[in-house]
Structure 1
Amino acid sequence: MTSGNLADVAALFDGSRLTMGRRLAGLRKNALAAAVELTPAAISFYESGGKKPSAATVAKLAMALSVSPSFFLPDGSPHAPATAHFRSLRSTTQLARDQAEAYVQVVAEVSRVLERHVDFPPVRLPVRPVGADCADDTPERAAAELRAEWGLPEGPIPHTVRAAENNGVLVVFTPPQSASVDAYSVSRADRPLVLLNPAKDDYYRQRFDVAHELGHLVMHTDEEPGNNIVENQANRFAAEFLMPRAQIADLLPTRADWPRLAKLKETWGVSLQALLYRARQLGTMRDVTYRNAMTTISTRGWRRREPGTVLSVEQPSLLPRAVELLPPDLLAAESRIPHHLLDVVTSRTPVG
């Protein structure tokens, strides 16, 4: 980029874009300041808009963050507040949360650009708020309502990611550097997002993750994320969404019948552990039987990798197909997102 263009970027510099780029890189202000030979206070001024960087500083910032200088230009889109639902706030560092939330901004920006050129399915995601003090079967009823709203047939859901995408929910994999953060979801006014961990290459657990995050999007738009009560409600939602009581209760064994459980696993596309959880939840299996079965799961090393058919994880297709319809480089030019991140956002498979 010429010095004249750098001067233009410096004049129009958007501090929020610097914050976004820094968080995407997983850097604190002091680390970025050291990389560009400035003070953390200077970085704070640039991010808050209290001061504009020089053209030379713009070039240094772009190089340090592996973005083009034009990345720092205003994008003109409102950044509405959105709550990200992380599984555990205690085990997720602030730096990792910041990085994950910055990636959400990237996905939202990519989506906005693509929707200028390609029609996406309308969002059909009913909101059924469930408070932390809920003591009835509201999570299960919310799951049943979503299946009905989406017109899902009785029995196993063939493809959870496709069902979500067909109803306007964006599903993407996160970058490899975010593998420490489990699957999470974000309720946005324009389009809800489900973000999947790229390191979790387990077909059965991924399906439960998608259902769990759908539960958050349906039930917890206003609830504080990360607490055990909210997470348990999302698990109950996921269990009913994937294994409706009326359709699976009579199929579940009362004891740890492993051959029978293995067949149910393949039929319903859920893990052995999810089936055991469901059997205890529905009262088919006694607590002591469930605990003994889970001990066996641990002893045999099945918590990490269960026996059975190894299937590839379900693949998102909404964003990848939209990109295929556009001229090469149009998305990069209009979004100004670095190519390496665009590759992750629009990939059908985890990028390693």
Structure 2
Amino acid sequence: MIERGKRELTVESAYRIARATGTPLEFFGFKSATYSAEEINFRKSSKTSARGREYAVQAFKEIERISISLEKAPVRIKNTDIPVAEEADIVSDNDIEAFALDARRCAGLADDEPVRNVIRTIERTGAAVAPLAVSVEDPALLDGHSGLSRWDESAARATVAFISGQPGDRQRFTLAHEFGHVVLHTRRNLPLELRETEANLFAGAFLLPRTVAIENLSETLTLHGYMRIKSRYGISVQAAISRAKRLGIISAQRYKSLMIQISSRGWRKAEPVEVGIEKPARLWTELTATYGPKPYFPASPDLGVAPVFLEQWIPAREGRAAGRTTTPTDSNVVSFAARGRQS
């Protein structure tokens, strides 16, 4: 009842929740973000649950708040500028190709060069990237979800979140898709379906530029040929085939034939050619620069977030020190919407 705003949160209730969940009392002093879920770019399927959507939105709002708090951390990181579509822009497919190419060039990539690490490329723009996972007690909670992003330009940075556990090729496309939202939709307010279509086109162009696609893809290219493209550019076979169709390199009939072959081989959800999982670094760098090499417990009261969530959203980089916390369970999860309602 409290978490849905149907009852006021009393001081006594706040203490009780804090004791039961390990949430710092400071959590309840932060105001809840007032923007709606519709203001978040949200890559998900139609089969997501209402509970999962609510969890993802509230978790994203917390991640965004933390990322903005850490933006002024004492670190020396030079940000790269990125192109951003203006509010009045009417954006064609060719424009999206150009925006993706410009974003690649701003990252220092040659036009035919693979994006070695999508997360690092996004982080170098100043954006915060964070994983979003669920407890082991409810592993299906975020089924159907892929990623979220938002950049309110009153804040200094964009925030991008991705759902943990995706295969590497899907993770990279999700991240490139969310980066597309940052570039194309920070200043342009469009219907959801159109935003998603544009972000998908941007992701394909970002990972596999048009000149590369035209040179390497063809009507007769076999699945093994697409696998070679995947191994070099880190884009899934299915996304590369869709890219070829979108660019007019292959016919609708050839597209259908290739997709039937993929289905018959059981590749729809798991393709051959493993693509590595990428991990964020920037928020961890900022967190440790502010709170030291074991940051979770000292940062918890300042940020108003339980250490277990900080560890989940800002995982330690491999080989770096970090104080371990317990794994979150249903019993120590508190709704983010509860704060800021003390009587």
SS in 2 for 1:176: coil
2:164 to 198, 202, 209: 198
What is the correspondence of 1:167-182 to structure 2 with a 5 Å cutoff?
167-176=125-134, 179-180=142-143, 181-182=145-146
2:178 to 203, 213, 218: 213
SS in 2 for 1:333: helix
Contact preservation (8 Å) 1:88, 1:226: no
What is the correspondence of 1:293-304 to structure 2 with a 5 Å cutoff?
293-304=258-269
1:244 and 2:215 correspond: no
Shift of 1:121: 4.4
Q: Distance in 2 between matches of 1:122 and 1:218?
A: 15
Shift of 1:81: 4.2
1:184 to 148, 151, 159: 148
1:72 and 2:25 correspond: no
1:139 and 2:102 correspond: no
Contact preservation (8 Å) 2:27, 2:301: no
Q: Distance in 2 between matches of 1:150 and 1:333?
A: 36
What is the correspondence of 1:34-183 to structure 2 with a 5 Å cutoff?
43-46=5-8, 53=10, 55-63=11-19, 66-74=22-30, 79=33, 81=35, 83-88=39-44, 90-119=46-75, 121-122=78-79, 124-129=81-86, 135-154=92-111, 155-176=113-134, 179-180=142-143, 181-183=145-147
SS in 2 for 1:87: strand
What is the correspondence of 1:226-245 to structure 2 with a 5 Å cutoff?
226-227=192-193, 229-245=194-210
Cross-structure match for 2:337: none
SS in 2 for 1:125: coil
SS in 2 for 1:194: strand
Amino acid corresponding to residue 125 of structure 1 in structure 2: I
1:281 and 2:279 correspond: no
1:341 to 285, 309, 314: 309
* Structure 1 length-normalised TM: 0.76
Shift of 1:340: 1.0
Shift of 1:324: 3.2
Larger Rg: 1
More divergent stretch after superposition (253-262 vs 239-248)? 253-262
Structure 1 residues 331 and 121: CA distance shift in structure 2, 3 A? farther
Shift of 1:287: 1.0
Structure 1 residues 183 and 112: CA distance shift in structure 2, 3 A? closer
Which of the two has greater helix per residue? 1
Shift of 1:130: 7.8
Shift of 1:272: 0.7
Q: Distance in 2 between matches of 1:293 and 1:252?
A: 13
SS in 1 for 2:235: coil
SS in 1 for 2:311: helix
Cross-structure match for 1:322: 286
Shift of 1:45: 4.6
Shift of 1:149: 2.7
More divergent stretch after superposition (217-226 vs 207-216)? 217-226
What is the correspondence of 1:306-317 to structure 2 with a 5 Å cutoff?
306-308=271-273, 310-317=274-281
Which consecutive unaligned segments of at least 5 residues does structure 1 have? Answer: 1-28, 34-39, 47-51
Which consecutive unaligned segments of at least 5 residues does structure 2 have? Answer: 136-140, 318-326, 329-343
Contact preservation (8 Å) 2:73, 2:287: no
Contact preservation (8 Å) 1:173, 1:196: yes
Aligned residues: 302
Shift of 1:118: 2.5
Contact preservation (8 Å) 1:170, 1:193: yes
Cross-structure match for 1:4: none
Instruction: Let me know the Cα RMSD of the aligned residues.
Output: 2.9
Shift of 1:91: 4.0
Identity level (%): 25
SS in 1 for 2:146: coil
* Structure 2 length-normalised TM: 0.78
More divergent stretch after superposition (243-252 vs 90-99)? 90-99
Amino acid corresponding to residue 298 of structure 2 in structure 1: L
Cross-structure match for 2:324: none
Q: Distance in 1 between matches of 2:94 and 2:72?
A: 41
Structure 1 residues 289 and 112: CA distance shift in structure 2, 3 A? closer
Shift of 1:72: 1.0
Q: Distance in 2 between matches of 1:244 and 1:188?
A: 28
